[in-house]
């Protein structure tokens, strides 16, 4: 049987082309991001510093916008929904409203769990890897998310692009490995001491396979399985998320956004280097003194500012680089390409603000979809859905949220341009109510729309917990009954007051009333 190290080396041959292209793209943008896997430990001293910073600015900005789009702040990127085929048969509208409120509360709990973790930091780092190298691998472990660069993992897919096998390679200090360590030998997976700076690091391989509908993975060191490293997970809730930016049919790895504009970045790099070196040469001041002149070069060199020396002005000349026109042409070309790159990576029109509104998030998502063309669909399939399923599974196993029946409740991703969390539901509901009021009038709105149900749906759309906030129907009925009784009593009192003030009840005008009042005041005679 082939070991994990041998399988890694076998699959690494098919990754070679993609890794070389990713390293080239990284050198022009973020040199530290992706490095070659020729050595066991990266050598940061050999990193090249680009002559321009446009590439770095483009990558960082696009990664931030993608992060804003797929995990929008202050709102949920998903919602829990009941299956449409179960709504009419088993659930009444009142029950559905209560379930929506419960789902909204669960969504807030899940988003609070994500906000309290380091997931956003790792996801943002993975997005930069996607933009530059086109590939990234995220592992959802007990201690949080971990991002693997392309130089640290290999993958095998079927003809439809489904992942079949993953093998990772990482360095782990042998002090934290509770295994028997044999004698050091490069053939056994030990780091070559000539390449490593820390002799205590060993190579650990993790092999992930899809077996009988479940994901199974284990770790190997020195070509032997580490005891206790075997784990399994359901197929639809795998902690291993293999991400791609763009896909090409038949390829196991993706293509990055930087690769699409690699020509422009190379051109800007060359022009920037020429402009910098040319400007440095042009800024150098050199004086030429005629050999036959009486003016001595030492006199000019030693003369201070404002000094008076003897000599002739025509004997001294300044060397000037006559490349002004060439510099201008190169600068104009660089500016044109820079503008094109800034538009391609959505760097233009960035509003600086402390808070990002929902409308800005929606516009950002629309802009991303128009420029990148379907990136949300790919990120939804390969990242958001597996990420959500795994998070739900972890929270359900820890009893932080109740278990949801799969045949009735299903999570739905709402990040993207078609919907913006619950905010889209809110906008649709308010627009619907406003249309009825404008078209049919307020009377029709009060006649045909149930106010309590509308309030509950608006609260669910806003993600607000209405417990002890919104009155129940029973409370409303009791208060309305008490109010009607109070109105009736007040009406009787008013009517009695009006009747008492009438001439019929006036003793001065009606003698019978006066006699009756006297009979009531006189005590009865005892016999």
Over residues 287-320, the pLDDT tens digits come to 888 887 878 888 888 888 888 888 888 888 887 7
pLDDT for position 195: 44
Quote the percentage of the chain above a pLDDT of 70: 76
Report the pLDDT averaged over residues 165-169. 96
Which of 259-273, 282-296, 374-388 is modeled with the greatest confidence?
259-273
The mean-pLDDT minimum among 208-222, 314-328, 429-443 falls in 314-328
Instruction: Give pLDDT, residue 193.
Output: 40
What is the arithmetic mean of pLDDT over 180-201? 51
Q: Which of 24, 217, 11, 257 is nearest to 135 (CA)?
A: 257
Confidence of residue 487 (pLDDT cuts 50, 70, 90): confident
- Evaluate whether 107 touches 80 at the Cβ level (below 8 Å): yes
> What's the angle, vertex CA 291, arms to CA 287 and CA 292, rounded to 5?
130
> Taking the model in full, what pTM does it have?
0.74
Look at 1-15, 24-38, 309-323, 362-376 and tell me which has the smallest mean pLDDT: 362-376
- In the numeric block, which tokens belong to residue 147? 């991002």
Of 120, 389, 385, which is closest to residue 233 (Cα–Cα)? 389
Residue 74 has a CB neighbour count (10 Å cut-off) of 14
Q: Which two tokens stand for residue 461?
A: 């759309």
pLDDT reported for residue 78: 84
Q: Can you read off the two tokens belonging to residue 406?
A: 């799969």
Kindly report which listed range (125-129, 270-274, 419-423) carries the lowest average pLDDT score: 419-423
| For the chain, percent of residues with pLDDT exceeding 90 | 31
Mean pLDDT on 207-227: 93
Q: Which two tokens stand for residue 443?
A: 């009377």
Give the pLDDT confidence score for residue 194 in this predicted structure: 40
């Amino acid at each position: 049987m082939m070991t994990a190290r041998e399988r890694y080396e076998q699959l690494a041959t098919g990754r070679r082309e993609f890794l070389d292209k990713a390293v080239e793209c990284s050198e022009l943008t973020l040199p530290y991001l992706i490095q070659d896997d020729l050595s066991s430990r990266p050598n940061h001293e050999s990193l090249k510093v680009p002559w321009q910073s446009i590439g770095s600015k483009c990558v960082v900005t696009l990664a931030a916008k993608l992060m804003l789009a797929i995990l929008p702040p202050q709102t949920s990127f998903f919602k829990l929904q009941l299956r449409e085929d179960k709504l009419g048969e088993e659930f009444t509208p009142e029950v559905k409203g209560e379930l929506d409120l419960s789902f909204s509360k669960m969504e807030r709990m899940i988003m609070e769990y994500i906000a309290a973790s380091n997931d956003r930091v790792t996801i943002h780092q993975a997005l930069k890897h996607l933009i530059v190298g086109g590939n990234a691998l995220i592992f959802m472990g007990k201690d949080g998310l971990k991002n693997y660069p392309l130089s640290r993992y290999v993958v095998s897919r079927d003809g439809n692009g489904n992942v079949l096998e993953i093998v990772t390679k990482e360095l782990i200090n042998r002090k934290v490995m509770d295994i028997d360590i044999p004698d050091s030998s490069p053939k056994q997976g030990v780091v070559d001491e000539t390449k490593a700076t820390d002799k205590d690091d060993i190579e650990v391989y993790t092999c992930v396979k899809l077996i009988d509908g479940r994901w199974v993975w284990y770790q190997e060191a020195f070509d032997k399985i580490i005891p206790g490293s075997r784990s399994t997970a359901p197929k639809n809730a795998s902690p291993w998320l293999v991400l791609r930016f763009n896909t090409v049919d038949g390829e196991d790895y993706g293509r990055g956004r930087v690769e699409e504009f690699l020509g422009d970045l190379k051109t800007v790099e060359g022009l920037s280097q020429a402009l910098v070196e040319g400007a440095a040469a042009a800024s150098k001041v050199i004086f030429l003194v005629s050999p036959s002149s009486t003016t001595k070069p030492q006199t000019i060199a030693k003369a201070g500012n404002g000094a008076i020396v003897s000599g002739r002005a025509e004997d001294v000349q300044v060397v000037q680089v006559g490349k002004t026109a060439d510099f201008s042409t190169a600068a104009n070309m660089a500016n044109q390409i820079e503008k094109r790159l800034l538009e391609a990576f959505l760097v233009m029109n960035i509003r600086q603000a402390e808070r990002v509104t929902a409308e800005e998030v929606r516009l950002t998502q629309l802009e991303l979809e128009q420029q990148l063309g379907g990136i949300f669909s790919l990120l939804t399939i390969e990242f958001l859905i597996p990420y959500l399923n795994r998070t739900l599974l972890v929270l359900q196993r820890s009893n932080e949220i109740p278990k949801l029946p799969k045949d009735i409740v299903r999570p739905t991703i709402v990040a993207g341009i078609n919907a913006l969390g619950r905010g889209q539901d809110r906008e649709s509901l308010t627009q619907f109510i406003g249309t009825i009021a404008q078209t049919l009038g307020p009377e029709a709105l009060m006649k045909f729309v149930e106010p309590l149900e509308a309030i509950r749906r608006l609260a669910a759309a806003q993600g607000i917990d209405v417990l002890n906030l919104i009155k129940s129907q029973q409370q409303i009925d009791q208060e309305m009954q008490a109010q009607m009784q109070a109105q009736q009593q007040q009406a009787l009192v008013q009517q009695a007051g009006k009747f008492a003030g009438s001439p019929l009840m006036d003793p001065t005008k009606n003698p019978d009333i006066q006699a009756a009042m006297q009979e009531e005041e006189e005590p009865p005679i005892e016999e």
